[in-house]
Chains A and B, each alone.
Chain A
């Protein structure tokens, strides 16, 4: 089959903070780069990030990148790769200054330096006093960063394909990735983008769960594309539940609210985090706080007529602080709850938030797979941002570390791509088989018979994931969950669209997204069922302890035969001494 083609040095799939940071670096290096995004770049979900980005600037309290590294390793429950973590924490200050120079309107201290606030899991001196490491633009840091990066890309004349949906990667027999088949949403026409290197930066998959803080578009497309290309996904069992989503609705209330001095109470008005984390209290790691809230509710100390949430109290901070430092939260509370948080507490409950797992990469952003002697990079393929698993977050991400992750590894990947382009000057011949397979995948949705609806299946999948793969897990529940997910996946074969038009057919896009979600759900539940321990966000009631003997290793899930494999955690940092696993207390 014939299809229109375009050629670039580099294809970047995704225009969130990760994709845009990479694109900027590439455009500035005069690489010929195409950025494909299924929504206009500033609609990407980075825009929703609130609290801030971590870097040990030490503007407010003493700090060092090494303490940041310690906190990140501990926060990851020792599943993070320490070389990548060292690299990220060392690079952080520079990357934040760069963002500031590019125009990010950070909030300021009296002397004009960048404002920083305390966030969960941050300490001075390797586990000492609370640190203040999160650089903030009020509570709209993601918006500020995303818009600034987009703006600088306009200046650098990056080539954008706005509202194009990436369907599948194109690979040749030798395993080189040659670009991707994309769909122009406005016309419904497929387009083949050939590139010497492809960077996937498609963000997370929060839409796996019914109640989530993520945008409708966060369907993990890039991760699923990688699975379909026969490559594995790493650590998919680790999904972060943010402690403070608006109860029942899911919109996020930033950890910065607690960073500014807010705290959680149960129905007795008790500041219950004191019992779970005597030192860090409300600023313990997210996995710890989410479990505490779930336990409070389960044991009958929840608030409201149904006792199904707890309250986040901010009214003691004074109107000035609440309105000045958390304007976005105030707006959200007014619109969705009709309350002013400076006067009334906010009902909250743990909500699906962040995909710790993803496409396995090294700290250069190269997608890697295990081979006998260790790991090997897939030539031409890169991943960065929430879709990737470097892994700097391990089993639990610290707040403020994701915005950092996306810019640090977006840039690192771009730098490696520039090197790769210097050594690989020519496009490889196109693999027609790969193109045909991708076109066939797309054509599947032209079928006119079937009885299932995409919207209904998506809703069922989300409900199943929430019920069978949530904050607390057991073998029994996960096994049921796996059966259900597989059954839903089988039913997807029988799904049919009633709209087969070309122009701006969002029904077709949602069908493609649902296919992606299905594969990711299978990956998540399968990985979770296999891991018989509790670590970070993966909390097994039947295996309540962390088991470093058996499980200090990364999971790899392959789509073919739902095969699992494992690889060691990189415990050796680049220059400093390793942080060996210790008991994790806050």
Chain B
């Protein structure tokens, strides 16, 4: 099978280049990560992040034939040759397929992604009805792979100020939690023309999320909450 892989090592390369590889003996049910590991066994200089191999750690988001996804759960059988693999777009490249995620983490931290409760805590658990707990489904599963945010045109154009779909999904994860007591201030923080409102419902984010999550829906829900709280 044929692969074209983005290569860039700041110590030796003046500019990025695409390198072709041919790998024998791959099966269609194998994943792209398996192929990359084979390539790395031949050519140690190829760098990429990966760990769990089962789509739960979020390490190996990359751009695969033009679309963001996780290498470890992308079956080779679904890919057109040559398979073109690039780093996630919209973030600075450190080396090869490794991007600098600082900006992504900055936005994540900025939405205060943690439960805030002011009431004294009970001896036992907070009660949360199943119907309330169900509201967290589709939100808490986010693995912070950045596939969504780096496919969002609004983020490419406003990377400093627009929080991006992943962070906004997390913002909503806490707004939606019946236990959280910072609704007002969370909403206030997202107000203004950029942090939230740069989303133009382009929907790239939901289309690429490897966990099947829908940041667009979460963004809508935040907007709706804002309207409700304004009146």
Residues of A within 8 A of B (CB): 39-40, 42-45, 47-48, 57, 96-97, 100-103, 105-114, 137, 140, 143-144, 147-148, 151-152, 154-155, 186, 215-217, 251, 328, 331-332, 335-336, 338, 453-456, 497-499, 501-507
Contact = CB atoms under 8 A, between A and B. Distances in A.
Contacts of A48: 52, 54, 56-57
Given A48-B56, A335-B55, A504 B44 contact: no
B125 A501 contact: no
A499 B44 contact: yes
Nearest to A246: B54
A507 B44 contact: yes
A456 B143 contact: no
Nearest to A458: B41
Given A43-B51, A111-B127, 12 more contacts: A108-B130, A112-B129, A154-B109, A216-B52, A251-B54, A453-B41, A455-B41, A456-B41, A497-B44, A501-B9, A506-B40, A507-B40
Contacts of A251: 53-54
A45 B51 contact: yes
Nearest to A103: B115
B15 interface: no
A137 B58 CA distance: 19
B127 A112 contact: yes
Contact of B51 (A114, A147, A216, A498): A216
Most chain B CB within 10 A, of A110, A497, A503, is at A503
B45 A42 contact: no
Interface of B: 9-12, 29, 40-41, 44-45, 47-59, 73, 75, 94-96, 98, 101, 105, 109, 112-117, 121, 123-130, 132-133, 136, 140-141, 143-144, 174, 177, 179
Given A155-B114, A186-B94, A502-B11, A105 B45 contact: no
B9 A47 contact: no
- State the main secondary structure of chain B at its contact with A: loop
Given A215-B53, A503-B11, A143 B141 contact: yes
Contact of B125 (A47, A106, A498): A106
B11 A109 contact: no
Nearest to B115: A103
A103 B52 contact: no
A503 B95 contact: yes
Contacts of B133: 105-108
Contact of B59 (A43, A110, A112, A499): A43
Given A186-B94, A215-B53, A110 B130 contact: yes
Nearest to B108: A154
Contacts of B58: 42-43
Nearest to A186: B94
A57 B12 CA distance: 59
Contact of A113 (B9, B57, B98, B125): B125
B48 A43 contact: no
B120 to A, nearest CB: 10
A100 B12 contact: no
Nearest to A188: B11
Interchain residue pairs A-B with the least CB separation, the first 5:
A103-B115, A112-B127, A151-B114, A507-B44, A455-B41
B77 to A, nearest CB: 10
Contacts of B109: 154
Given A103-B114, A144-B140, A47 B57 contact: yes
B126 A101 contact: yes
A97 to B, nearest CB: 5
Contacts of A336: 54
Contacts of B114: 102-103, 148, 151-152, 154-155
A429 B75 CA distance: 54
8 contacts: A43-B51, A47-B143, A100-B126, A103-B174, A110-B129, A151-B113, A215-B51, A336-B54
Nearest to A331: B55
A102 B125 CA distance: 10
B51 to A, nearest CB: 4
A39 B29 CA distance: 27
Contacts of A332: 54-55
Given A47-B143, A108-B129, A154-B113, A503 B10 contact: yes
Contacts of A454: 44
Nearest to B9: A501
A42 B128 CA distance: 25
Contacts of B140: 105, 137, 140, 143-144, 147
A47 B127 contact: no
Given A147-B140, A155-B114, A506-B48, A114 B56 contact: no
Nearest to A38: B51
Nearest to A505: B47
A102 to B, nearest CB: 6
A502 to B, nearest CB: 6
Contacts of B50: 216
A245 B168 CA distance: 35
Contacts of A96: 125
A143 B130 contact: no
B212 to A, nearest CB: 8
Most chain A CB within 10 A, of B41, B48, B117, is at B41
Given A498-B44, A505-B47, A143 B98 contact: no
Given A154-B113, A335-B55, A498-B45, A113 B179 contact: no
Contacts of A137: 140
Contacts of B56: 47-48, 143, 328
Contact of B45 (A155, A217, A501): A501
A306 to B, nearest CB: 16
B4 to A, nearest CB: 20
Contacts of A101: 115, 117, 121, 125-126
Nearest to A135: B125
